[in-house]
Structure 1
Amino acid sequence: MKSPHAETVTPDRDWYPPAQRLDSPNQDERPPGQQPELIVVHAISLPPGEFGGGHVAELFQNRLDPDAHPYFAEVGGLRVSAHVLIDREGQATQFVPFSRRAWHAGVSRWQGRERCNDFSIGIELEGTDEDPFTPAQYVALAQMIGWVRARWPDIGPDALAGHSDIAPGRKTDPGPHFDWARLRQELHEVSA
């Protein structure tokens, strides 16, 4: 499916080649002159604690059936997205080009700057606060971060945060089971 924003994106920087593409309407232009400077790691599962089923993609595309599960009635009206979702098997789906603003962070602050959506890339991992993430997810996340950093030089080596880091007290993801040391090791192996 051709993106409705194809004229404003650069394919060699905006679309991660291994990812399946599904457009989300929940995106817009970044502020003028603003490039990505931060990667935010999230975790999501729909319904909560269940994996697979395509419901996260439906949420990001405003197609979640509120009658399919009681929880969906609560979240079906949200207008949210992420740039990329990595499922439990390490497969990536991209919803928003990296040069555009995905609606993933909400009210947020990083290093004194508010509105993290303006300058960040949001990556959702299929998961919960209660479950460890899979080895395939760490490998896929590290490979994608390496690819993104090579194309967006304003994203420095320390410009990596969890949703809980930019919205403390409001968000807890990616949660206590996310292994930041393992991600750093995977990133080291990708760059070696």
Structure 2
Amino acid sequence: MQEDIRQDKIVGSRRFSNYFWTFILFIGGWGFLLSGFSSYFKINLLPFANPTELVFIPQGLVMTFYGTLSLCLSFYISATLFWDIGSGYNEYNKIENIVKIVRKGFPGKNREILLTYPLSNIKSIGIKISEGLNPKRIIYLCLKDERQIPLTPVQQPTSITSLEEDAADLAKFLNLRLENI
């Protein structure tokens, strides 16, 4: 019975890179904001630099803008970390003959995203590999009506071997063919 149900966990926004960028943007944002305020009030608010020598218009104003923007981005990423946006699981259930894709979204009426597809509507498992400046390695659920539902999370590209093995295991589990998109 347990061999008829497969569940793959999906990591959402709680990844090391998001924690790293939140910290960097927060520290950098305060530095820029304090530099802008120092240039306006002519009081040195930074112990390691002397931004009072900056002319407020345009340099101090731009520093204040960059600092505010950086802090806003830091708070936004912190909120996505707190809410764990994008996390969830993919469940492949041969007993009920359905595939469930469950993800967490932003708070509100539609916080929980649930997509269900009957196994009879699934044509194949697809793999898309594109190299270059923005490489993509994604496993898709290909439906008979030509829709392609991504199954892998947004992340750093995994190795091609690992991706192909995961896709082949899934295709074998669901008794579907594997195709290159």
TM-score (norm 2): 0.24
Identify the structure with bigger relative contact order (alpha carbons < 8 Å, sequence gap 6+). 1
**Which structure shows the bigger proportion of residues in strand conformation?**
2
